[in-house]
Amino acid sequence: MNDETELHRGLSARQIRMIALGGTIGVGLFMGATSTIKWTGPSVIFAYLIAGLFLFLVMRAMGEMVYLYPTTGSFANFASDYIHPVAGYLTAWSNIFQWIVVGMSEVIAVGEYMNFWFPHLPQWIPGVIVVLLLLGANLVSVKAFGEFEFWFAMIKVVTIILMIVAGLGLIFFGFGNGGHAIGLSNLWSNGGFMPNGWLGFFFALSIVIGSYQGVELIGISAGETKDPQKNIKSAVNGIIWRILIFYLGAIFVIVTVYPWDELGNIGSPFTATFAKVGITFAAGLINFVVLTAAMSGCNSGIFSASRMTFTLAQKGQMPKVFLKVMKNGVPAYTVIAIAIGILIGALLNVILPLFIKGADSVFVYVYSASILPGMVPWFMILISHLRFRKLHPEKAEGHPFTMPGGKFASYVTILFFLLVLIGMLFNKETVVSVVIGIVFLAFMTIFYFVKGYHKLNKEDQI
């Protein structure tokens, strides 16, 4: 591989940790927590815990393989090498589809959030500005992308920590509540800890899973990370305490401070909590945080989808122009193509409804359709891990970063995700997204064989 097609290792340990954290904490926690709580009440805490623990196992399975083979687009490569070339192809395209859709939705959200301060500003203008800003950052260097993501993640982290501290003050000391501690009674006094039974809990679990999509981002950045073994090991191991603190801590505060069945009437629980303890500019603060969280999602989308496009181009499954790398190590054409795709999608969301009745609902389905493609990398990582262990049992001996529980843990985690998918098919809020996701995967599989990619030599696959 010559210098013009080689990426640079420009991500530091500090940046890779924050990229992992930014991929774990999305807008969904700030804006969507109430939608999961309505299904199962306070027991949603356990839904986040269970989903988080299984995602940690996915990351450890990936970490075991990435530790030995730190390449860009790692889990797509693993899927091709250890399952079948079409598995690698579907993994890469699922990731591209997921992140372009996420990027589109985040850009649209940016316009809505800016209306808080500028109610008469057309929503498409902030979206265009953000895409151009993030495109510039991604083109400068991978280090610039990492720096943007570092500060975006830092804003989210600080906000959640402050919210947890404020909430604990309300719960145990009555700060902002006239000195009267709220206590823990809201956890069981409004219909019980699990008011909608096990079925509600199961449905909540299927929605909670979506909150963790993007956590595998560090597997894509492996090929551009300095000292990859050390940094990836640190980032993966750190995910579990991040989940415990930032998800469980925040959700615990929300369902303890407020009766779960009244959350739908208070707007953002983050805003309400800050306002309750006397932070008068709480609404503006949280709007700023979700604005940066949306920009973070778009930033990650450009980075992740462009690297997967580069990986496909390496194997002859994308035009060769996408192999071109600038002197700073950035695959410029892939970055530009993904940014344009995100921008076109966001603009069409604004334009089409003006001419086609019901076009806005089509976009809603497209956005939700990213759920299943977002889970594809997790399945592929786990199945690849099983094949990796079978084909190379000697690699596990003396390996400093093996999967806890080995192959058994991978089997159990696969079973868990299959059960979640079945639950999504029976939940009216998620069934459409799963069906559209299945159609997308079927189409890409047919396209793979029609284009004759299966005839390429295995070493030319992903």
Chain segment 128-148, per-residue pLDDT in tens: 999 999 999 889 877 887 888
Residue 272 backbone phi and psi in degrees, to 5: -65, -40
Please tell me the predicted confidence (pLDDT) of residue 205.
Answer: 84
**What is the chain's pLDDT, residue by residue, as a tens digit (462 residues)?**
344 556 656 666 667 767 666 666 766 676 667 778 888 889 999 998 999 899 989 989 988 888 887 766 578 888 998 999 999 999 999 989 988 888 888 888 888 888 889 989 888 899 899 999 999 988 987 788 788 888 888 888 888 888 899 889 989 998 878 888 899 999 998 888 998 888 888 888 877 887 788 777 776 666 666 777 777 777 777 777 777 788 889 899 989 988 888 887 777 788 888 887 888 788 888 889 888 888 888 888 888 889 889 889 988 889 889 988 888 888 899 999 999 999 988 888 778 777 777 666 666 666 667 788 889 999 999 999 999 999 888 887 778 888 889 899 999 999 999 999 988 888 887 888 888 889 999 999 999 999 887 776 444 444
Residue keyed to tokens 């306070």: 42
**Maximum CA pair distance of the chain?**
72
- What pLDDT, on the 0 to 100 scale, is given for residue 1? 39
**Residue-level pLDDT at 238:** 76
Instruction: Please tell me the predicted confidence (pLDDT) of residue 90.
Output: 94
pLDDT at residue 222 in the model? 62
Question: First and final CA of the chain: distance in angstroms?
Answer: 15
Amino acid 179: pLDDT: 83
Q: What is the pLDDT of residue 132?
A: 93
pLDDT at residue 364, rounded to an integer: 64
Do residues 372 and 422 make contact, with C-beta atoms less than 8 angstroms apart?
A: no
Tokens, residue 300: 């990650």
Give the 3-state DSSP-derived string for the chain, with helices as H, strands as E and coil as C.
CCHHHCCCCCECHHHHHHHHHHHHCCHHHHHCHHHHHHHHHHHHHHHHHHHHHHHHHHHHHHHHHHHHCCCCCHHHHHHHHHCCHHHHHHHHHHHHHHHHHHHHHHHHHHHHHHCCCCCCCCCHHHHHHHHHHHHHHHHHCHHHHHHHHHHHHHHHHHHHHHHHHHHHHHHHHCCCCCCCCCCCHHHCCCCCCCCCHHHHHHHHHHHHHHHCCCCCHHHHHHHHECCHHHHHHHHHHHHHHHHHHHHHHHHHHHHHHCCHHHHHHCCCHHHHHHHHCCCCCHHHHHHHHHHHHHHHHHHHHHHHHHHHHHHHHHCCCCCHHHHCCCCCCCCHHHHHHHHHHHHHHHHHHHHHHHHCCCHHHHHHHHHHCCHHHHHHHHHHHHHHHHHHHHHCHHHHCCCCCCCCCHHHHHHHHHHHHHHHHHHHHCCCCCHHHHHHHHHHHHHHHHHHHHCCHHHCCHHHCC
Per the DSSP assignment, residues forming a β-bridge with 11 are 225
| Contact criterion met (CB below 8 Å) for 46 and 202 | no
Domain boundaries defined on the chain: 3-460
Domain 3-460 has CATH 3.30.310.50: no
pLDDT of residue 148: 83
What is the C-alpha separation between 275 and 279, in angstroms, rounded?
A: 5
Provide the Cα torsion 48, 51, 55, 56; round to 10°: 60
Length of the chain in terms of residues written: 462
The pTM assigned to this predicted structure is: 0.86
What are the phi and psi torsion angles at 29 (to 5°)?
A: -70, -40
